[in-house]
Amino acid sequence: MPSHIAPEPAFRHIRTWVFDLDNTLYPPSVRLFDQIDARMTDFVMRLTGLERTPADNLRRQYWLDYGTTLAGLMRHHNVDPVPYMEEVHTIDFSVLSPDPGLRAAIEALPGRRIVYTNGSAPYARQVLAARGLSGLFDAIYGVEHADYHPKPQPQAFATVFAADGLEPREAAMFEDDPRNLRVPHDLGMRTVHVAPQPLPAAEAAHIHHHTDDLSGFLARL
């Protein structure tokens, strides 16, 4: 069963700290991604001619099947990812607020700190700025850096990690989507599920730790 308390020795060997972005570096309670979901559904409606409910269902089904809605749209509708990403990430960031405690906890981590998101890197920079986290990270990787292969696809991790040069066995991954921790676990990374509720133990063999308080978890390291 994943631990709720982070035993510091379990992270003593970590040299690279990999953070997902959405619902990880900000709390899901702000519902920022709801805005993106709505814009993606608008895009699917315009592309397919579907009404909102079936378009929203298709959006979600692509996310379930491929890791991102974009991956499904590229596979089945030949969508150009660049204008799509710009459109769906044109949202109101004012719902986010700076988090000095989280900044201090991340800043105190030894080694390299990177962000790896299924969103775009420009979008990630906007989120980080709104959270008061700009300038903390050595690198920011978006789905474009994985040739638009999304997490949880093994190819996505392989591409980004090779570009970064990180050693998985000396790295930790923080993610809200448990699917995206399976490959990191198999590569030998330390895995941390950041979410309001942990997975049932039977589904959490690939998760070393769970926390609903990222700042507090990092501070205990």
Q: 72 and 135 in one domain?
A: no
Q: 123 and 75 in one domain?
A: no
Residue 37: is its pLDDT beyond 70? yes
Residue 221 pLDDT: 87
17, part of any domain: yes
111, part of any domain: yes
- DSSP at 110: -
Q: 36 and 20 in one domain?
A: no
Residue 8: is its pLDDT beyond 90? no
Q: 213 and 172 in one domain?
A: yes
CATH code for the domain of 78: 1.10.150.450
Residue 21: is its pLDDT beyond 80? yes
3, part of any domain: no
* CA dihedral angle for residue 129, residue 133, residue 134, residue 140, rounded to 10 degrees: -100
Q: 179 and 159 in one domain?
A: yes
Cα-Cα-Cα-Cα dihedral sign, residues 75, 78, 83, 89: negative
207, part of any domain: yes
Taking all residues of the chain, what is their mean pLDDT, rounded to a whole number?
Answer: 95
- DSSP at 218: H
181-209 burial code (b ≥16 CB/10 A, e <16): bbbbbebebbbbbbbeebbeeeebebbbb
What residue numbers bound the domain in which 63 lies?
A: 32-88
CATH code for the domain of 156: 3.40.50.1000
Tokens describing residue 58: 């298709």
Domain boundary among the residues 66, 88, 110 is at 88
Pairwise CA distance, residues 83 & 202, whole Å: 41
Tell me the pLDDT tens digit for each residue of 191-211.
999 999 999 999 999 999 999
Residue 96 pLDDT: 98
Sheet containing 171-175: order of strands: 139-141, 112-116, 16-19, 171-175, 190-194, 209-211
For residue 129, what pLDDT band results from cuts at 50, 70 and 90?
very high
Residue 63: is its pLDDT beyond 70? yes
Q: 82 and 150 in one domain?
A: no
Residue 6: is its pLDDT beyond 60? no
> Into how many domains does the chain fold?
2
Pairwise CA distance, residues 80 & 77, whole Å: 9
For residue 176, what pLDDT band results from cuts at 50, 70 and 90?
very high
Q: Read out DSSP for 144-204?
A: GGGTTPPTTSHHHHHHHHHHHT--GGGEEEEESSGGGGHHHHHHT-EEEEESSSPPPGGG-
163, part of any domain: yes
Q: 109 and 22 in one domain?
A: yes
Pairwise CA distance, residues 203 & 55, whole Å: 30
Closest among 102, 115, 57 to 213, alpha carbons compared: 102
Q: 201 and 109 in one domain?
A: yes
Residue 29 pLDDT: 96
- Give the number of other CB atoms < 10 A from CB of residue 70: 24
93, part of any domain: no
175 close to 193: Cβ distance less than 8 angstroms: yes
